[in-house]
């Protein structure tokens, strides 16, 4: 079976500086894979290459066995890749049920007509409700998004990505900036994502990664530095040294 995601020799240079260098990473179908690394390691650059925000300087990207190195961002979404985005001002004025319903309608190609129909489409709203309940947003789905606790807003970003029905979900630091008392909410919801969705978590926080991942890759100065199970990575003195040296 093809890996859900594979990069071969992926590289990105800014001028003479290599932000990513020869990154060959394979994410198995159904995996809970984490990519960690200290600040400046090249994690954001890597996610921008995967999603097509930036073109690579070298290497190839394969999604479920298909070369998507030069596919558009939208083309990658159509092929089953979704990532989380920060909720923008427009969405902040909507409620979670409106936001996710709109994303589902968009996926079905009826987004533009969604609001003009009286009562909208009940199947779309049912799907949105189920998704929001799964992400522990059921009790808040009719509140304006800008009034939700920050942790809930981060969960809505994940629900929005899940509305695309992805095969591969890229989570970019889902708990970043979330206050301590809301973090367990985010961690629980991330842990409860459907098993058939492959997840690549890009994260700086090692504790979060250790509670979530079944495989961890460590990026340092743009290159893969170590890869292994949670036990292997958490006991690797070289990895600890890299983090302590930040
Ligand atoms: P991380 O997300 O792991 O903190 P980044 O991918 O943001 O790391 O950055 C990796 C390195 O690449 C940093 O040294 C950063 O300054 C550099 N970098 C990132 N984007 C650019 C850019 N557009 N132009 C020049 N340097 C960049």
Q: Is the CB of 42 under 6 A from ligand 1?
A: yes
Instruction: Point out which residues pair with 33 in neighbouring strands.
Output: 200, 215
Task: Please state the three-class secondary structure of 63-97 as a single string.
Answer: ECCEECCCCCHHHHHHCCEEECCCCCHHHHCCCHH
> Looking at 138, 165, 192, which one is the last position of a domain?
165
Q: Give the Cα separation of 4 and 50 in Å (integer).
A: 12
pLDDT lower than 50: segments of the chain: 118
In terms of domains, do 73 and 173 share one?
yes
* pLDDT tens digits for range 171-210: 998 888 899 999 888 888 998 899 999 999 998 877 789 8
Q: Is 201 helix (H, G, I), strand (E, B) or coil?
A: strand
Q: How many Å lie between the centroid of ligand 1 and the Cα of residue 92?
A: 28
In terms of domains, do 230 and 177 share one?
yes
Q: Give the Cα separation of 128 and 139 in Å (integer).
A: 13
pTM for the structure as a whole: 0.92
What is the position in ligand 1's atom list of the atom closest to the CA of 45?
6
> Looking at 117, 149, 165, which one is the last position of a domain?
165
Distances (CA, A) of 146 to 98, 102, 115: 13, 17, 21
In terms of domains, do 187 and 227 share one?
yes
Q: Give the Cα separation of 140 and 116 in Å (integer).
A: 24
What is the position in ligand 1's atom list of the atom closest to the CA of 222?
10
Question: Which residue segment(s) compose the domain that 159 sits in?
Answer: 86-165
Across the chain, the runs of DSSP E, i.e. the strands, are 5-14, 17-27, 32-36, 58-63, 66-67, 81-83, 168-172, 198-203, 215-220, 223-228
Domain count, the chain: 2
Model ipTM? 0.97
* pLDDT tens digits for range 9-31: 999 999 999 999 999 999 999 99
Q: Is 224 helix (H, G, I), strand (E, B) or coil?
A: strand
**CATH number for 38:** 3.40.50.300
> Looking at 110, 142, 165, which one is the last position of a domain?
165
């Amino acid at each position: 079976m093809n890996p859900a995601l594979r990069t071969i020799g992926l590289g990105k240079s800014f001028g003479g500086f290599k932000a990513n260098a020869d990154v060959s990473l394979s994410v198995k179908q159904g995996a809970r894979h984490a990519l960690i690394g200290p600040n400046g390691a090249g994690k954001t650059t890597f996610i921008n290459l995967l999603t097509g925000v930036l073109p690579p300087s070298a290497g190839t990207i394969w999604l479920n066995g298909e070369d998507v190195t030069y596919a558009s961002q939208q083309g990658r979404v159509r092929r089953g890749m979704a990532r989380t985005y920060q909720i923008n001002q427009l969405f902040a004025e909507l409620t979670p049920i409106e936001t996710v319903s709109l994303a589902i309608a968009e996926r079905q190609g009826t987004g533009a007509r969604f609001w003009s129909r009286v009562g909208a489409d009940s199947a779309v709203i049912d799907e949105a409700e189920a998704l929001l309940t799964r992400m522990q947003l059921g009790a808040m789905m009719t509140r304006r998004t800008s009034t939700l606790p920050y942790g809930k807003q981060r969960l809505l970003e994940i629900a929005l990505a899940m509305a695309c029905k992805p095969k591969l979900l890229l989570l970019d630091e889902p708990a970043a900036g979330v206050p301590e008392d809301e973090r367990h909410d985010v961690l629980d919801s991330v842990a409860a994502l459907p098993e058939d969705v492959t997840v690549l978590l890009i994260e700086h926080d090692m504790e979060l990664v250790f509670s979530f991942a079944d495989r961890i890759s460590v990026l340092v100065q743009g290159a893969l530095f170590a890869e292994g199970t949670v036990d292997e990575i958490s006991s690797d003195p070289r990895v600890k040294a890299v983090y302590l040296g930040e």
